[in-house]
Amino acid sequence: MRGLKAKSLCLLAVLFLAALPGCSKKEEKEAGQKAFQDFAGRIENRSQDFERPAPAEPSEERPLKVGLIGPETGEGAEIGRMTFEGAKMAAEEINGSGGVNGVPIELIPIDTREDSSATKEALNRLISENVAAIIGAPTGWATLTPVYISNESRTIFISAGTRRHIGSSGPFVFRVSLPLEKAAEELLEYSVKTEGLKTFFFVTVMEDEALNVGAAFRRGVEKKGGSVKGQGSIFTEDDIAGAVGDLKKHMPVDGVIFAGGPRMAVGFAKEAKKAGISLPLLGGEELHNEEFLKDGDLVAGSLVYSSFSTDDPDPATKNFISSYAKRYGHKPDVFSAEAYDTYMILAAALRKSGSTNPEALKEAIVNIKGFKGVSGTIDMGPDKEARRSAYLLKAVKSGASTVFSIVKNPHEK
C-alpha cells in the first residue's frame, strides 16, 4: 500500500512539474495552484472519480467518433469557442469530401464550462461511447483532466495548442502546438544573423507565463550567438522605471528581450523613451496583438514569434482564413488554426491506419510527417509532441500605422 501511495504521489509530482511550465496566463488563471492541488488530490483517488467501462482490448475497433471538449461558456470561453470553431470547420470539410475512407466522422462537442466536474462528466460520456479520440481545448481542466482517463481507457487524447508538456504523460496523450524553446531559438537566430542584434538586456515580468518565455530565451541566446549584458525584473507597473534604470547602466545594447505581456512591454517602451532610449523588443507570442502595436512608434522594429498569422500569403492558409471568416463572421486566431490542424492530423492518421484501434491509431499519429497545416508544416514524433517552426514577425511602419510583417514563414524553407 505504501509503495502504491508513493508511486501515485511521484506520478502526480512529475505531471505537476511537467504540466505547469507550459501554461499560459489564461490556463494559469483557470487551473491555479489551489484548484490544481484540489484536483490532484482527487486524482490520487481517481478510481472514485471516474465510473467507466473497462479499457478496450488491443484488437478492438471503435466507432468513428471524435469527442471535442472545452469551455464554450464560463472561464476561458473565448479560447474554447475559437477551438470549437476551428475543429468543427475541419470536421465539416472532412465529411464533405467523403469522410475517412468513405465513412463520415461523428464529432461530439461538449461544453465543459472550464469546470472539473463538467469535464469529468464529459469524459465519462465520451469513453462510454467508445470514441476513437478526444480533442481538447488548450485550457486548464480540458488539458489536465483527460490525461489520466485517456491513458487508462486507452483512448487517444490530443490537446490542440496547450503549452503544457503533456506528451510524456502517457502513451495515448498527444500535443499539437508550437514548441516554446524552438520558437525562441528561431527568433534569436534571425535577430542575430539577419538583424545584427547580438547584445541584449533581459527584462522579465514576474508571472508564470513570462518566466517560461524568459527561460526559453535564456537557454537559446548564447546558443544562437548572442549575449546578455544585464537584466531587470518587473513585479508591478511601479517596477518599470527601475528596470529602465537598470537598462541605462548596461548601455549600449542592441535590443531588449522582453518576457511579458503587451501592457507591460508598452509601458517599458514608454519609460525607456523618456530616458532617451529607443531599442527593439524581442518577445513571445503574447506580444503578437493589436495592444502591443497601439503606440506604434514606440515598438517599431520589435520582433516576435507566433503560432499563426492571418497575414500569411500561403494559398491554403489564405483559403482557410477566407472560409473561416465567411462561416463565422470574424477572422480565425491561433486557437482556431491549431484546432483545425489538430483535427486534420487526426483525420490523416485515421486514413493512414485504416483503423480506429487505439494502438494502430497511436502509431499512425506518431508517424505523421510533413503534414501541411494552415499554421505551417508539422511533424509528429515519438514523444507525441509536434515539431514545427514559428512565424517570425517584425513591427514595421505602414503609413500612419505600425503593423506586423512576416519576416520568416513556417511554410517556407
| Residue range 167-216, pLDDT digits in tens | 888 899 999 999 999 999 999 999 999 999 999 999 999 998 899 999 99
| Residues in a beta bridge with 376 | 373
| Residue range 236-282, pLDDT digits in tens | 999 999 999 999 999 999 999 999 999 999 999 999 999 999 999 99
CA distance 84 to 126: 16
In the numeric block, the cell 505523421 is attached to 368
The overall average pLDDT reported for the chain is 88
- pLDDT recorded at residue 182: 95
pTM of the model: 0.85
Mean pLDDT computed over 336-355: 97
Looking at the predicted structure, is the pLDDT value of residue 350 above 80?
yes
Domains 2-37+62-177+317-382 and 181-306+391-408 share a fold: yes
Per cent of the chain over pLDDT 70 is 85
Q: Which residues contact 112 (CB under 8 A, 6 or more apart)?
A: 69, 70, 71, 80, 118, 119, 122, 141, 142
Question: How many CB atoms are closer than 10 A to CB 223?
Answer: 11
- To the question of domain 2-37+62-177+317-382 being in CATH 3.30.230.70, the answer is no
Looking at the predicted structure, is the pLDDT value of residue 324 above 80?
yes
74/19: higher pLDDT: 74
| Residue range 216-241, pLDDT digits in tens | 999 999 999 999 999 999 999 999 99
- pLDDT recorded at residue 164: 85
Per-domain residue ranges of the chain:
2-37+62-177+317-382, 181-306+391-408
Per cent of the chain over pLDDT 90 is 81
- pLDDT recorded at residue 20: 40
Superfamily of the domain at 181-306+391-408: Response regulator (3.40.50.2300)
Q: What is the CA angle 162-189-285, rounded to 5?
A: 30
- pLDDT recorded at residue 11: 37
Q: Which amino acid is at 134?
A: I
- pLDDT recorded at residue 35: 54
CA distance 185 to 201: 16
- pLDDT recorded at residue 295: 86
Looking at the predicted structure, is the pLDDT value of residue 392 above 50?
yes
| Residue range 20-72, pLDDT digits in tens | 434 444 444 444 445 544 544 443 334 334 444 444 455 589 999 999 999 99
